[in-house]
A and B are shown apart, each in its own frame.
Chain A
Amino acid sequence: MAKDETQGFRLIGTRPDRPDGLDKVTGRARYGADISAPGMLHAAVVRSPHAHARIVKIDASKALALPGVKAVITRADLPTGLTGEDWNLQENTLAGEKALYDGHAVAAVAATTKLIAQDAAKLVEVTYEVLPHVTDVDAAMAAGAPVIRAGTADHSVPEGMHPNVVKYIDFGHGDVEAGFAAADLVRAQSYKTEATHQGYIEPHACMAQMGSDDRGEMWVCTQGHWYIRRMSAAVLGVDASKLRVTPSEIGGGFGGKTTIFMEPLALALSKKAGGRPVKLVMSRSEVLRATGPTASASMDVKLGMKKDGTLTAAKVMFRMQGGPYIGSSPVGEALSCALACYDVPNVMHEGYEVLANRPKAAAYRAPGSPMAAFAVESLLDEMCRELGLDPLKVRLKNAAREGTKSSYGPTYNRIGLVESLEATMAHKNLLAPLGPNQGRGVASGFWFNHGGETSVSLAIGEDGTVTVSVGTPDIGGSRASIALMTGECLGIPYEKVRVNVVETGALGVNEPTHGSRATFASGLAAVEAARQAMAEMCRRAAAEWDIDPEAVEWRDGAAHPAGPNAGKFPPMSIAEIGAKMGGSGGPISGHHEVTAGGFGASFGVHVVDVEVDPETGRTTVLRYLVVQDAGRAIHPAYVEGQYQGGAAQGIGWALNEEYVYGADGRLQNTVFLDYRIPVASDLPMIDTVIVEVPNPGHPYGVRGVGETGITPPLPALANAIHAATGARLRSLPMSPPKVLAAIKAKAGG
């Protein structure tokens, strides 16, 4: 069975059409809101217009009196006694004593039509006692800030902090003070980033049905249907196995669809309405007001550097709010990512998680890493300029490599930051001439990647074709890449493998498609399952040839006698084995389940050229380059797509996107017109270079590729804007008014 799996691939690295392409270009693909069922009701949610308010009374009598209304639910319909994150999820699904942010759900209605449900929602009378609120992270920590929920803080928080400070983290190694003393230049700065939203174009949507026996079914757009099942079951107090959750095609997630926001409401409404199916689809403004944006951050960074660019010490202090519940902000990840690109002997990280009257934050692509990179990579750039050093050479000089003890603890195995920096330095974009008001910025970025709980099954068909069942919803082409790996392993054509994303009843528990794990972990499990099936097929051939199974080898999609001593038998193809399997021992399948370790860290380097209009402060991206280590690009077109999509989101975060809260604590920009994500005319082509430093922890060398790309754009753009204008922006987004003010302040000062 010896096969060189590091080179000479037949399928890996090719770019076949994706299996779901035809359905998606013809409009046939079915997303969350695209299915209906007989007798189906429609739901609408009543949401708090206040950032912080005690719920005094909810009167649904007028709503219930409206013809066509079948059920209204409030928190009183949900079980009590939940604790920890389950309580947080229940509280976020439907407010209890207090509404904690603008848009917080307080009741839900099911009716025979969408319009009646919406009308009925307006008839639910909620009496609020409005309380003082706070939405800014620094303000929420300050003395006198309104207390969001006393007693939330865990034991880590030092005495004397405001009760909104709920978690403190610190870790590091070396002696930072000695490190700063040994530096030629020590600089410290503070940075702020606003919350942004994942901005998937498909709003959350589900259709659910649950009977009085608590058995339920759900169709839902999600990155992880086992998470939906477990969380919904916990919120409703039912057994997880009573729920069967089927994922729809998913219209983007970026981390935001790894948790529940409203799914238990559909189940509870269905049960209350006699088990009729209920469809619940969010509007865009509900998505923006009430589903997971990322955290907002306030950060201090201090770096020490020698004249030659060597980093001697680094210290970071991050404060992040992720809404009104503990554990929603990615402060721990942000700290761990902050200095992960570099080999710094002395590092110290500290962070606080803070509660605020904002929606419960969810994961967003490389959670925490973009903010951290904005702070660290901006200061690094400033110091390179001050010392007259090339920012790429300084990054290369300090780059983490195999054997480096990472800033967050573990020692790296084979990683590709050095190769990525070298590929960047050799790229033609660095030679492009720059004109007046133009500037170039560079930055590096990091993400851990992830393995996680994974269960995959594979079955050989009667005609020798192969079906793979995976539990990771396909957001960006993972069915294609898993089919390529399976076909590669079995020696059969790509077209002979069908990969299905299956429901919760069909496999063991799978974590969501998150952390850049689907192609890595489901791919790894599919390859292991294929190897099992392959071994069984060799046994079937051996039995028929009456030789030892050890004397059979698998290659080119067929069993072969392993050598001249094994006997002279013509190869037995997978199709022949499949056709005969009923009589040769029964169905042939493979199955693998694992909590996948061995994921390989991901590094990338971005270079951006901008032009800043000195009259308006508007930044135009002229040229953009993404260089990133993929480990191995299984389907390079979809790897490039991840790089380009990540860069576009990062550009949006850097230049435009932000949550804007009014003095009343209400979100001001609740539609795409005001929460403006990059459009086609905002961007240039995005150049990509795929570096391949194979991950030793995967049979084909795969690292995840999805996350890292959103990280470098934030600092790269800040660095480019500085290069173009001389003005240093330390707060995101770098919108035209802010850039203009910074240019003017510089001219004035």
Chain B
Amino acid sequence: MNAHAGDQVLHHRALAAGLYGSGLPALQELRQSSIAAYAAHGLPETRHEDWRYTDLSVLRTTSFQPRAGGTLAHERERAVLGYLLANIGAERMVFVNGAYAPQVSNLPSVPAGCTLTTLAAAAATHGALLATHLGSSFSAARHPLAALNTALHGDGMFLHLTRNQALTAPMHVACLSAAAETPTAVHPRLLLVLEAGASATLTLSFQGSGRLHINAVTEIVLGAGAALDLQVLQEDSAEGVHTELISARLEQSARLGVHVAALGGHSSRSEVLCQLAGDDASLSLTGLIIGAQKQTHDLTTLVRHTALRTTSQQVVKAVLDARSTGAYTGRVSVATGAQKTDAAQSCRTLLLSSEASMNTRPQLEIDADDVKCSHGATNGQLDAESLFYLRSRGIPLAAARILLTRAFADEVIDRFPLECVRSHLHGRVDGRIAPKDAVEVTA
């Protein structure tokens, strides 16, 4: 370990010492081992195959430091919050720069025996559950940024639903962040434990401004027959980096829907790990990538089919404008004996500019013989004939482009379960398409 790395470890240890969980030895150990894992493996490099399309260079050259304090200082944050509260449901948990903001949160009551609270509060009441599940669903060595989150997350959301219980209304978890004068790091964390037959619908939103590194981790544990729909609205700062890991394990007949909309960040990576560990478990994954300017978005999924008759369906669409780039890596592994696996993935890209680009990589590793695996990818531009048809009926070029782009994106937007999120995304798609009255697009 060189001197710099040694300094970093000391620095991380000092930071971790001030965080929640000091009364929970298991959590303290976990933080220490995560610090060590991050020090050993460091920031993933683009020469690493799994990180080829994620641009983390700014994290190497700039020091992003956690920022204490959870007040809504800025007008913009207040405006964003007001917008979210009005549009995405009343029951919410708000984090400002990673700190819980009770004054603007509104927690629903949960059934007896269930818990919805902060991780810091849960450390005192549900230490055993935290010790069992935090950091247990992914390898710290393979996910150093997620390990960094484990080491340094200051708080987060904890949901525990006991057998057959349900959150009656969709819940919104809002992560609002604003950089201080200096580049700021935030490590949002969620732990969702649904026991057999329990169910919930959650929207996780990220909104940020300034030079931020948002580094989120969501861990999901679904017991037999449990069902969770998670919608992720990633609208982080255009000057920032957004990295995120969603890691789930599903028991028998459990059902998980993960619906990710990646819009924000100068550079973003959303990674979904899902193990279908029980027979008949199923994953439905939706990815909507919208790139503008010089944004890069990377959506990486790893679905492990390790039981009988499990299904995964992944539908991804990217709309890339200007000089943005997108990447979708869909890795599906089917274990020996995981017969009757049904895994499908499709990725379609609309390139609105000749300088935008998309990299699509299906990766199948199949060790069973009786399986159905399919994948398909297309890249295309707005159809010149369709544009002309609309214009010939009097629809101006800019509006025609929006109409066709929306029609393209609708198929994935329609997969988001909540209407309020769908209409929000419609507005975002419309707003993201730069007017180009003077430029003719040719097929």
Q: Do A and B come from one complex?
A: no
Q: Which B residues are within 8 Å of any A CB, using their own CB? A: none
